Chains A and B, each alone.
Chain A
């Protein structure tokens, strides 16, 4: 948080992303953030909010659905009343509806591309701001289902090749909307389980592509959402080899004498991979218990927030010092912070 080298200037349009990656990585490393940093984050993100609704990647950029997603998630991590009050929920829902297309898809920004990242970010933002209205949700699951391919995975857009990250976006949206049964879960399970590499233990993002540390989260979280979608017993093990994944993250994604985590040996660590390798590590170290059903109308007991992960020392590879705290697989945010956040809706 002390400043970034100028090589990162190509990411000038991704300022809320940087806030999320660093804040969430600090949480996973057990570091508290102080009031001063909290206020700076709130101000930085507020400066990216546009009058017409939503957040841009920088104060001079038009609103982008992915910037809005990372902005809101960062504010949930900060979690204060001030963070919540900095958001204009009325213009946000107006803007999200403008980005929505009649087939249930979302455009990522005015005149921009349409893909499943748009669906995921829009639905998460709306959920976290309690503005998941019927107009916003209409046909969303249909568009998502149309992105499922013959191999069971999901691409960004109907017809386009399946990809681990878009498969995550798909199942996460359906989980929030309580519609995971609307896809072919059998072929999906085949696709997702095939992403773990026999030798490396980490996940690949696409069929016949190489392993990459960031999929530890994107694919790892997919397994946990799938676990519930398949109705597997909460206390049973996930459908991937958690020790093999942890070994890949701990042994291959770190570099001697350099901080941060990386894609694979031979690459340099960066903020993005640090955040998602740590998030994947958290998923692999924790089990799920007590998955709540969606019977209650209270937001804090909806199914999506009902993932209760537990830390079990037997699930941790290597020293207990490797333990990282738990996350909700759908939002990649601490369950406690999510529960704290939803109290603002009441």
Chain B
């Protein structure tokens, strides 16, 4: 929750005293003193809102309406009735103050969507006048789009994500822009840059998945080269930070959805191959995600190889049990109930 207005109260001239608003009759809403949860409105707030109601009633479109709506939004960003359709740069100045505000990000998307629907977006196909902020990927955007609106939105988003690398609304709106204007190649560079700056940035990992599936939840990757590349990429990240949930859930989820047969073959082999190279085994063994994966690996062997020799099955079962017991009792006791639930799912051996 943020405090808006306040500071500049002294410099503010009430609409009641302004000649250009003289013809308007403000509409005040009575908050009777005994009402439930009464809010102690500042004078600036109640007067501005009263004049706003008067303007909205007549649907007036004018310079003064524009100015008043702007002021009202600054005072009350959650007031969706006050959101007008306006140019993007104006919203930009507010979004920076209230980066988590749903309405403002949505408004931005709505304006771009309208430009696309009406075809007006094509009026902005020129390379002129794209102001870059100095962010390293900004310069590159002009080589993937010749549209000033698109370039400007990406540059704006780059700067917003630079300020708050996990800004939920910014990433969400970014997906809309990437999908609408087919900027997946550019975006892969951006997402991987963000991951390299902070390998725990889960928003960036999610974006990587979004790019690989082109934002379509029914899309299935069948190019093995792509999946092998992602296995190496994720394992590199896992060896740098074995407890990073983002990297584990990314690769396990990717394989589970797109090529489940790789999950307990290629991925297992690549993971264990890492251990032979150096001393990484002992650090990966500190990861709860590694042990959950091992549990699933042995559980899978028990499930798919029902006809195998009993001594093999006994060993797999022991390994699966060892993994969950170790997690529950030593490595990660806070999730003990979950691990005991997993333990019950280990298939019985004859």
Residues of A at the B interface (CB closer than 8 Å) are 1, 3-15, 18-19, 22, 37, 40-41, 43-44, 56-62, 64, 109, 111-113, 146, 149-152, 155-163, 187, 189-191, 193-194, 196-198, 201, 206-209, 230, 232, 237-241, 244, 270
Contact = CB atoms under 8 A, between A and B. Distances in A.
Contacts of A22: 37
A19 B171 CA distance: 32
B190 interface: no
A8 B39 contact: yes
Contacts of B206: 149, 155, 160-162
B168 A208 contact: no
Contacts of A62: 80-81
Contacts of A11: 1, 39, 78
Given A9-B45, A44-B37, A189 B338 contact: yes
B220 interface: no
Interface in B7-33: 29
A3 B76 contact: no
A111 B106 CA distance: 9
Interface in B199-222: 200-203, 206, 209-210, 213, 215, 217
A138 B335 CA distance: 37
Nearest to A232: B341
A3 B40 contact: yes
B246 interface: yes
Nearest to B198: A208
Contacts of A14: 78
18 contacts: A9-B75, A9-B76, A12-B49, A12-B78, A13-B76, A43-B36, A112-B106, A150-B257, A152-B253, A157-B172, A158-B217, A159-B175, A160-B175, A189-B341, A206-B168, A207-B249, A208-B201, A237-B337
Contacts of A43: 35-36
A295 B207 CA distance: 42
Contacts of A159: 175, 210, 213, 215, 217
A9 B42 contact: yes
Contacts of A57: 78-80
A40 B210 contact: no
Interface in B309-350: 332, 334-338, 341
A4 B37 CA distance: 6
A56 B38 CA distance: 16
A208 B209 CA distance: 17
A177 B100 CA distance: 31
Contacts of B209: 149-150
Interface in B79-106: 79-81, 102-103, 106
A241 B45 contact: no
Contacts of A9: 4, 39-42, 45, 75-76
B225 to A, nearest CB: 19
A148 B175 CA distance: 16
B81 A61 contact: yes
User: Which 9 pairs of residues, A with B, have the shortest CB-CB distance?
Assistant: A150-B253, A151-B249, A207-B202, A161-B206, A40-B36, A113-B106, A193-B338, A208-B200, A13-B78
B292 interface: yes
Nearest to B251: A150
A160 B178 CA distance: 13
B254 interface: yes
A152 B171 CA distance: 19
A244 B334 contact: yes
A201 B334 contact: yes
B134 interface: no
Q: Please indicate which of the listed interface residues A6, A59, A160, A232 has the most CB atoms of chain B within 10 Å of its own CB.
A: A160
A129 B293 CA distance: 45
Given A160-B175, A241-B336, A10 B106 contact: no
Given A10-B77, A61-B81, A208 B202 contact: yes
B335 A193 contact: yes
B78 A6 contact: no
A150 B230 CA distance: 14
A256 B34 CA distance: 31
Contacts of B203: 161
A6 B166 CA distance: 30
Contacts of A208: 200-202, 244-246
A44 B36 contact: yes
